[in-house]
Amino acid sequence: MAKTFYTERDIEDLAATGARALNLDDTIVLTDLARDKALALGIRLERGAPNSNLTPPPARPSTQTELVAKVKAAVIARLGPGVDPAMLESVITRVIAQIK
The answer, yes or no, to whether residue 56 has pLDDT greater than 70, is: no
Nearest to 78 by CA among 87, 88, 86: 88
Domain ranges of the chain: 4-47, 64-99
- 17 close to 57: Cβ distance less than 8 angstroms: yes
Q: What's the average model confidence in pLDDT over 42-58? A: 65
Q: What 3-state class would DSSP assign to 29?
A: strand
Residue 64 identity (one-letter amino acid): Q
Most confident of 16-20, 28-32, 44-48: 28-32
Alpha-carbon Rg for the chain in angstroms: 16
Q: What's the average model confidence in pLDDT over 40-60? A: 67
